[in-house]
């Protein structure tokens, strides 16, 4: 795209960091003809995270829930440049961002200049600095995590199969522990139990009976963002399905074979064969560095933004969406990031008009006062972001789900098999592309007729 518009005004550069929920929702809704749009992300695809917990056990194939950035960019009305790179450092004074390629065969590092920057880098899994977590557990955030978990499960099962039934090492290898009773931990524990009961039980009937799935949660309940009745329903189902719930139990240390947890005054040591860690989010390095550069950024929970998603202290040139931010009342969910992206696309349309007016004023046109009042009017038209919470859904196993829905002021709660069908149709509808929708539907059909494919 040309560096200037037909009237001679410069085309501004908009750099978008990330290819997740926030960044892609912005990209899909943005009029890309109005800016030089540059996307920087180490991941050259969008990942539909709500179905990620279904992937390690083969309910859903990983390929079914990704959509290439290039295919999203191709559908945009204007040109979009993409760098398969990670942002290392943002310089808000000089308006540059340092990026580094993630491709070992094609290494480069460069500074990109921006007029506007949107930070949508998401968050990284938090460990709260608990010793041994990083070295010994798997997270569930990226495709590589799901692949790693699948490999560890299979290896543990095969190793255990070579040992005699009364060998304590066999029982350790068959202990699968999930730490964190938020929706990630709950959904994954549920998928794991389904896999053991519905598929593994057919191939290894004796061994499958020895598999123990444990969910460890520091608080008195799992799924704390859901209504109490739904939490009770989920906890009862877990008990019935033999998912060992360890509530009020806070993990303090992890070694190669055991976790050590505090439960009241007691300290328990639990063996594990596979450990999945899902205790929430922490800011990424690039966001942490940015925080140190702006005086107004004084929260460790995320980048502080105003009600128009502008980064505090960055004077309107940096915006942030999704999990990298902290704003009271906005939770780190796909729903929030998605709506923020949609909102920013509208903001950038208005900002383009504002910038055009500013340029006309700077050209010393005769009707300056008229242009200035038009400018003020346009600036006032940028309304704050309003989040519309539509509710929360979670899969809890045995083809059952819970739904805590909000329609206007009314709340609807449901749980069970019909809710599972609703959960399925809601997620199908939310898939990014028609291709994803077809693949996910085919995966579910495949599991129904043929069972899960969990070969590595």
Residue ranges binding ligand NAD (CB under 6 A): 128, 130, 179-185, 187, 216-219, 224-225, 250-251, 278-281, 331-333, 392-394
Q: Which two tokens stand for residue 232?
A: 């009770």
Q: Is 145 in the site for ligand FAD (CB under 6 A)?
A: no
What is d(CA 23, CA 209) in angstroms, rounded to the nearest whole number? 44
What is d(CA 455, CA 232) in angstroms, rounded to the nearest whole number? 35
Q: Which two tokens stand for residue 90?
A: 């943002």
CB nearer to ligand NAD: pick between 187 and 191:
187
What is d(CA 200, CA 207) in angstroms, rounded to the nearest whole number? 9
Shortest CB 391 distance to ligand NAD, Å: 9
Q: Is 182 in the site for ligand FAD (CB under 6 A)?
A: no
Shortest CB 108 distance to ligand NAD, Å: 33
**Burial annotation 309-331 (CB, 10 A radius, 16+ → b, else e):** bbbbbbeeebbbbbbbbbbeebe
Q: Which two tokens stand for residue 170?
A: 């066999």
Q: Is 17 in the site for ligand FAD (CB under 6 A)?
A: yes
CB nearer to ligand FAD: pick between 190 and 375:
190
Shortest CB 73 distance to ligand FAD, Å: 14
CB nearer to ligand NAD: pick between 18 and 180:
180
φ, ψ dihedrals at 415, nearest 5°? -150, 150
Shortest CB 170 distance to ligand FAD, Å: 30
| 160 contacts 207 by C-beta, under 8 angstroms | yes
Interface positions, 258-317, toward ligand FAD (CB under 6 A): 284, 286
Q: Is 337 in the site for ligand FAD (CB under 6 A)?
A: yes
Q: Which two tokens stand for residue 66?
A: 């990704």
What is d(CA 351, CA 375) in angstroms, rounded to the nearest whole number? 10
Of 38-46, 205-213, 217-225, 399-407: span binding ligand FAD (CB under 6 A): 38-46
CB nearer to ligand NAD: pick between 14 and 304:
304
CB nearer to ligand FAD: pick between 47 and 173:
47
Q: Which two tokens stand for residue 188?
A: 């994954």
Of all residues in the shown chain, the one whose CB is closest to ligand NAD is 182
Shortest CB 335 distance to ligand FAD, Å: 4
Q: Per this entry, what is the length of the chain?
A: 456
Q: Is 120 in the site for ligand FAD (CB under 6 A)?
A: yes
| 93 contacts 109 by C-beta, under 8 angstroms | no
Q: How far is CA 381 from CA 29, 207, 377, in A?
A: 19, 64, 6
Of 3-11, 267-275, 333-341, 365-373: span binding ligand FAD (CB under 6 A): 333-341
What is d(CA 97, CA 149) in angstroms, rounded to the nearest whole number? 34
Shortest CB 87 distance to ligand FAD, Å: 4
| 385 contacts 340 by C-beta, under 8 angstroms | yes
Shortest CB 362 distance to ligand FAD, Å: 33
Strand partners, 251: 261
Question: Which residue carries 């300056």 as its tokens?
Answer: 368
CB nearer to ligand NAD: pick between 131 and 165:
131
Instruction: Write out the H or E segment, with its range, that includes residue 439.
Output: helix 434-450
Strand partners, 244: 214
Q: What would you report as the CA-atom Rg of the chain, rounded to the nearest whole angstrom?
A: 24
Beta strands in 377-419 (DSSP E): 391-397, 400-407, 410-416
- The binder of 286, among ligand FAD, ligand NAD, none, by C-beta within 5 to 8 A per type, is ligand FAD
Shortest CB 101 distance to ligand FAD, Å: 11
CB nearer to ligand FAD: pick between 21 and 238:
21
Of all residues in the shown chain, the one whose CB is closest to ligand FAD is 20
Pick one of 37, 66, 133, 140: the residue that binds ligand FAD (CB under 6 A).
140
Q: Which of 62, 29, 59 is nearest to 48 (CA)?
A: 62
Shortest CB 304 distance to ligand FAD, Å: 15
Contact residues toward ligand FAD (CB under 6 A) are: 17-23, 40-43, 49-50, 52-53, 86-87, 120-122, 140-141, 184, 284, 286, 322-324, 332-335, 337
């Amino acid at each position: 795209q040309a560096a200037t518009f037909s009237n001679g005004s410069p085309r501004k550069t908009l750099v978008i960091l990330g290819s997740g929920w926030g960044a892609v929702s912005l990209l899909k809704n943005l009029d890309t003809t109005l800016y030089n749009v540059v996307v920087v992300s180490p991941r050259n695809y969008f990942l539909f995270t709500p179905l990620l917990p279904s992937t390690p056990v083969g309910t859903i194939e990983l390929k079914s829930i990704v959509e290439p950035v290039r295919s999203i960019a191709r559908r945009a009305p204007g040109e979009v440049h993409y760098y398969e790179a990670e942002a290392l450092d943002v310089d808000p004074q000089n308006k540059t961002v340092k990026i580094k390629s993630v491709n070992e065969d094609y290494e480069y590092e460069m500074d990109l200049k921006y007029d506007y920057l949107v930070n949508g880098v998401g968050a990284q899994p938090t460990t709260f600095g608990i010793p041994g977590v990083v070295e010994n557990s798997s997270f569930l955030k990226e495709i590589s995590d799901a692949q790693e978990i699948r490999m560890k499960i299979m290896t543990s099962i095969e190793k255990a199969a070579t040992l005699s039934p009364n060998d304590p090492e066999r029982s350790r290898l068959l202990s699968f522990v999930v730490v964190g009773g938020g929706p990630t931990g709950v959904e994954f524990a549920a998928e794991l139990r389904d896999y053991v009961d519905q598929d593994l039980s057919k191939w290894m009937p004796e061994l499958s009976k020895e598999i123990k799935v444990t969910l460890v949660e520091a608080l008195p309940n799992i799924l704390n963002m859901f209504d109490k009745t739904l939490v009770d329903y989920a906890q009862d189902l877990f008990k019935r399905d033999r998912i060992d719930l360890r509530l009020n139990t806070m993990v303090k240390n992890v070694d190669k074979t055991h976790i050590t947890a505090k439960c009241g005054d007691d300290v328990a040591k639990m063996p594990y064969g596979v450990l999945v860690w899902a205790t929430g989010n922490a800011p990424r390095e690039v966001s942490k560095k940015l925080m140190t550069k702006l005086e107004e950024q004084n929260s460790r929970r995320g980048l502080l933004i105003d009600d128009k998603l502008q980064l505090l202290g960055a004077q309107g040139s940096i915006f942030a969406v999704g999990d990298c931010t902290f704003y009271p009342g906005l939770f780190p969910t796909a729903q929030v990031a998605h709506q923020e992206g949609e909102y920013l696309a509208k903001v950038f349309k208005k900002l383009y008009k504002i910038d055009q007016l500013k340029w006309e004023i700077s050209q010393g046109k005769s009707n300056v006062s008229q242009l200035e009042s038009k400018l003020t009017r346009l600036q006032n038209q940028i309304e704050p972001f309003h989040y519309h919470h539509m509710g929360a859904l979670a899969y809890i196993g045995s083809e059952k789900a819970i739904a805590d829905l909000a329609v206007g002021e009314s709340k609807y709660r449901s749980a069970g098999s019909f809710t599972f069908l609703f959960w399925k149709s809601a997620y199908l509808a939310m898939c990014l592309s028609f291709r994803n929708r077809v693949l996910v539907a085919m995966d579910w059909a495949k599991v129904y007729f043929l069972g899960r494919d969990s070969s590595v």
